[in-house]
A and B are shown apart, each in its own frame.
Chain A
C-alpha cells in the first residue's frame, strides 16, 4: 500500500439510481406544490398587511350585509319588529329611489303594497300561534295596511301622470290586476281577523278594501274617458275622410279644423303629462 490516499480516493462511489432520483423529485415537487399553495392560503387567511386586513374586514362586512339584505328583502317573514326589518325598509327606499321611470315607480309601489299585505297576514298568523304582544302586532298590521293604501294611492296618482296613453293604459291594467290580488289577500286577512274576533283589524281591512275599490273606480273612469277620446278621434277621422270624398275645398277647412282639434288634444296630453 504505497499510495494509501490514492486507494482511499478510489473507493467505490455509487450514484443514486435514476428511479429513486425520480421518486425523490416527485416527492419534492409534490411538497413544493402543497407548500406553495399552503403559503398562499396562509397569506390569504392570515394577512400581515394592515390594508389587506382592512380590505378583508370590509369585504366580510359587505358580504354579511349583502347577504342579510338579500335575505331580508325577499322574505315575507321579516315583519315589523324583526331585527332585519329596518334593513328591509332601507333597501325598499333605495329601490324606490332607483325607480326612475313612472312605469318602474308604479311597479315598485305595487310590489311593496303586496309585500306589506303579506307581512300583515304573517303577523296576524303568528299572533294566532303565539298570542303574545297582540297589541304591538295589531298596531304593526294596521301600519302595514295604511302603508298599503298609501302605496296604491301613489301608484294610481303616478299612473295618471303618465303622458303616453298606451303606457298609461298598460300601467293601469297592471295596477288593476295587482289590486285584485290585494283584495284576495285582504279577504284572507279579514278571515284571520274574524277568527281572532279582532274588530279593529277587520275594520281596517274593510277600510283598505274600500280604498282599493275607490282606486279601481278611478282607474275604470280613466279608462272610460280615454275610450271616449279614442272614439272622438275616430269619428273626427271618419268625418275628415268623408269631406275628402266630397270636394277639395271642404277638405282644406276640415284639415284646418282637424289640426286644431289634434293640437287641442296634444295640449291636453301635455297638460296631463305635466
Chain B
C-alpha cells in the first residue's frame, strides 16, 4: 500500500513527476511528429500518445540527473524510425511537406512561409533535420548536440551552413 502511494506520488505529483513532464513536452513532441509525418494530424497525435506511454513505461528507469527533453526526443526519434519501418510507409522527408492545398490550409501559412517550407524540403535530410530542430522544435545548440551526440561547435557550424544553403535556394 505504501509502495502504491509512493508510486503515485512519483508519477503524478511534483516537479519531477511524469505528469508535469507531459504537460511541458506534449506540444513539442506533437510538433516534432507533425513536421515529420507530412502534417498528418491523426498520425502525429497517435505517435505522440504512443511516445508518452512508452516513456511512462520506462520512466522508473529514467535518470533524473539527465535531461528529460533529450530522453523524450530520443524516444520520439526512435519511435518515428520504427513507425516508418514497421508500417513500411517510407515517407521521405525530401518529399514536399505540403503535398496538397488542403494540407497548407490546415495550418494556415502565408505565401512566404509556404515558400520557405517548400525550400526546406528541398534540402538534404541532415540540413532539413537540423533546421527543424533549431527553428521548429526550438531546441538550443547544446540540446541538439546532446541529441545528435555531436559537439556544440559542430552543430553551430552545421546550422549556419544549412541556413546558407536555404538562403541560396530562396534567392534563386
A residues lining the B interface (CB < 8 Å): 1, 4-5, 7-17, 20-21, 23-25, 27-29, 31-32, 35-37, 39-40, 43
User: What is the CA–CA distance of A23 and B46 in the complex, to the nearest angstrom?
Assistant: 10
Stretch at the interface among B73-81, B84-92, B164-172: B164-172
Q: Contacts A7-B113, A11-B117 given; 14 further ones with Cβ under 8 A?
A: A7-B112, A10-B113, A13-B27, A14-B31, A14-B107, A20-B49, A25-B22, A27-B53, A31-B53, A32-B7, A36-B7, A36-B11, A39-B7, A43-B3
Contact status A15-B27, CB under 8 Å: yes
- Contact in complex: A32, B113 (CB < 8 Å): no
**Distance from A129 Cβ to chain B, minimum over Cβ atoms (Å):** 53
Quick check: is B154 within 8 A (CB to CB) of the other chain? Answer: no
Q: Are A28's CB and B108's CB within 8 A? A: no
**23 A-B residue pairings within 8 Å (CB atoms):** A1-B171, A5-B135, A8-B131, A8-B135, A11-B109, A11-B113, A12-B107, A12-B109, A14-B41, A14-B107, A16-B45, A16-B48, A17-B45, A20-B49, A24-B48, A24-B49, A28-B18, A31-B53, A32-B8, A32-B56, A35-B56, A40-B1, A43-B3
Central interface residue in A23, A31, A32, by most chain B CB within 10 Å: A32
User: Do A9 and B4 have beta carbons less than 8 Å apart?
Assistant: no
Question: Which one of B8, B26, B117, B163 contacts A5 once the chains associate, using CB atoms below 8 Å?
Answer: B163
**Which of B10-63 touch A at CB < 8 Å?**
11-12, 18-19, 22, 26-27, 30-31, 34, 41, 45, 48-49, 52-53, 56-57
- The reply to whether A4 and B166 form a contact with Cβ atoms under 8 Å apart is yes
- B11 CB to nearest A CB, Å: 5
Q: Number of residues in B with C-beta < 8 Å to the partner?
A: 39
On whether A13 and B31 interact (CB within 8 A), knowing A32-B12, A35-B7, A43-B3, the answer reads: yes
B148 within 8 A of A: no
Residues of B within 8 A of A35 (CB): 7, 56-57
B interface residues (Cβ-Cβ under 8 A, vs A): 1, 3-4, 7-8, 11-12, 18-19, 22, 26-27, 30-31, 34, 41, 45, 48-49, 52-53, 56-57, 107-109, 112-113, 116-117, 131, 134-136, 163, 166-167, 170-171
Bound-state CA distance A10–B138 (Å) is 11
**Residue of A8, A31, A37, A40 with most partner-chain B CB within 10 A:** A8
User: Is B49's CB under 8 angstroms from A27's CB?
Assistant: yes
CA distance A122 to B51 in the complex (A): 69
A interface SS class? helix
Contacting B30 at CB < 8 Å: which of A5, A12, A16? A16
B170 contacts A4, CB within 8 Å? yes
Contact yes or no, A37 B18, CB < 8 A: no
Cα distance A157–B11 when bound, in Å? 72
Q: Judging by beta carbons under 8 Å apart, are A23 and B135 in contact? A: no
How far is the CB of B49 from the nearest CB of chain A, in Å? Answer: 5
What separation, in Å, do the CA atoms of A25 and B56 have in the docked complex? 11
| Interface hub of A7, A9, A16 (most chain B Cβ within 10 A) | A16
Q: CB distance B116 to A11 under 8 Å? A: yes
Bound CA span A10–B112, Å: 11
Smallest Cβ distance from A28 to chain B, in angstroms?
A: 6
Contact A32 B11 (CB under 8 A): yes
